[in-house]
Each structure stands twice: as structure tokens, then as C-alpha cells.
Chains A and B, each alone.
Chain A
Amino acid sequence: AQSVTQLDSHVSVSEGTPVLLRCNYSSSYSPSLFWYVQHPNKGLQLLLKYTSAATLVKGINGFEAEFKKSETSFHLTKPSAHMSDAAEYFCVVSAWTNAGKSTFGDGTTLTVKP
């Protein structure tokens, strides 16, 4: 079994300030972890993924995430928010040993204030 908890349903930051979106997971498998971003009425875009290599993962658009096995966390960060970062963010856990099925968190809405 696997599950994902995104600890904040909404996060609001000012432009130019750091972003932190929190995600905890559980999995019976050796999981892969992902962050996806979704803009309104659009599909999901892959930001970054962790697949048992380096625990600090760098993604697109300046985002990065750190896998902490002891804390079962995979938090997403960005040093400086941009207005275009305003969107819905999903933390996802998956395992090819689980027929490739993914389990999604409930999502975090990021608002960026000017």
C-alpha cells in the first residue's frame, strides 16, 4: 500500500520570497516520488522526481526537493517565488512493482502575491 499527505491545502507567499510545499508519504514498496504542477484547466507537468539516487533532487524552474527517508518526507522548495509559479502542486508516490500505479496527494494551491 502507498499513500501521500500534502500537509497544506493552500500556501500564500509574496513574490521573491521562498516557497515550501510539504509532503509526507508511506509505501510498502521502494517508491519513486514526484512533484507535478497543474495550471488551471491544463494537464500535469513533471517538476522533478526522486528514484533512489541523490536525495536532493533538482527540477525545472528552480524547484528542488529533498527525500528524507527517516522523516518519510519529500518537501518541495524554491528560493524565490515568481508570479508564474501560482498553480496547483501535487506530490505523487509510485512504484513499478505496484503495476506503475501512482497515488496522488490532495494538492496544494500556491498563491503568489505581488
Chain B
Amino acid sequence: GAVVSQHPSRVICKSGTSVKIECRSLDFQATTMFWYRQFPKQSLMLMATSNEGSKATYEQGVEKDKFLINHASLTLSTLTVTSAHPEDSSFYICSALPGNLAGGTDTQYFGPGTRLTVL
């Protein structure tokens, strides 16, 4: 149980285009999902917290207009990188928290990641 999928696993796009990445919790509901960015040989950097039915909360320094997050249902969150540029190339990983946070678990389950390359 507690499986999280991401799609696509790898994407290559031209500079200036937009890319959408999906994160799905396959066998549980998640009111909260997180989006991370990971540079080579580095740790994960939290970009934003995605809450079902409300606006995402972005970490300091993350452009909310560039990284659009939508959490449309209890099992799906999407990250759209708008007008992508080569510096946006990175490994993007999502995670999901099962259940309702109020008194619930704080164990995150991670997706397999999406490798974005912007040419």
C-alpha cells in the first residue's frame, strides 16, 4: 500500500513551453501533497505544499506564477512549469500524506520523480 505515481517519468521540452507533471496517490487519499526539486548530488528542496481544494503554499524564493500547482482531488496534484527555461531542468519529486493531517500521519510517501530537461 501507500503507492504514489508520477507522470511523466521523463520529459524533454523546448525553452518557452509549459510542462505539466502529475502526482497521484494510487491506494489512499491525500489532502496534502508536497512538491520537491532535487539538483544532482543534492538533497530535496521543498517547493510548495499542495492542499486539496485550496491554494498551494509556496516556500520562500519559489515563484508561484512559474510553478503552478493544482490539487483538484484527494488523489491528484499537478505541477505545471510555465515558460520553462534551461535553468528549470531538474528532478521533480512529489510526496503525499495519507489521510487528514489533523491528528493524522506525518509519514510522506514519495513518487518516483520526473526528470525535466529544457533545451
Give the interface of A toward B (CB within 8 A): 32, 34, 36, 41-46, 49, 51, 90, 94-96, 99-102, 104-107
| A105, B97: Cβ atoms closer than 8 Å | no
| B106, A96: Cβ atoms closer than 8 Å | yes
Query: Shortest distance in angstroms between A12's beta carbon and chain B's nearest beta carbon?
Result: 16
| A104, B106: Cβ atoms closer than 8 Å | no
| B112, A42: Cβ atoms closer than 8 Å | yes
Shortest Cβ-Cβ A-B pairs, 10 listed: A43-B112, A96-B106, A44-B110, A43-B110, A94-B106, A104-B43, A43-B113, A106-B43, A100-B106, A104-B44
A100 and B97 in contact, given A32-B107, A90-B43, A95-B106 (Cβ under 8 angstroms): yes
Q: Is B56 an interface residue (CB 8 A)?
A: no
Query: Shortest distance in angstroms between B33's beta carbon and chain A's nearest beta carbon?
Result: 10
Q: Which residue of A lies closest to B59 (CB)?
A: A101
| Size category, B interface | 20 to 34
Q: Is B46 an interface residue (CB 8 A)?
A: yes
Number of inter-chain CB pairs below 8 Å: 61
A100 and B32 in contact, given A90-B44, A105-B43, A107-B43 (Cβ under 8 angstroms): yes
Query: Shortest distance in angstroms between A31's beta carbon and chain B's nearest beta carbon?
Result: 9
Complex: how many Å from CA A36 to CA B43?
Answer: 12
B49 to chain A: which residues have CB within 8 Å?
A: 99-101
Complex: how many Å from CA A7 to CA B71?
Answer: 36
Complex: how many Å from CA A72 to CA B8?
Answer: 39
| A46, B107: Cβ atoms closer than 8 Å | yes
| B115, A41: Cβ atoms closer than 8 Å | yes
B93 to chain A: which residues have CB within 8 Å?
A: 43-44
Query: Shortest distance in angstroms between A102's beta carbon and chain B's nearest beta carbon?
Result: 6
Query: Shortest distance in angstroms between B34's beta carbon and chain A's nearest beta carbon?
Result: 8
B32 to chain A: which residues have CB within 8 Å?
A: 99-100
Query: Shortest distance in angstroms between B87's beta carbon and chain A's nearest beta carbon?
Result: 20
Among B6, B34, B44: residue with most chain A CB under 10 A: B44
**B 94-119 to A, binary, CB cutoff 8 A, 1 in contact else 0:** 01010001011111111111010000
| A96, B104: Cβ atoms closer than 8 Å | yes
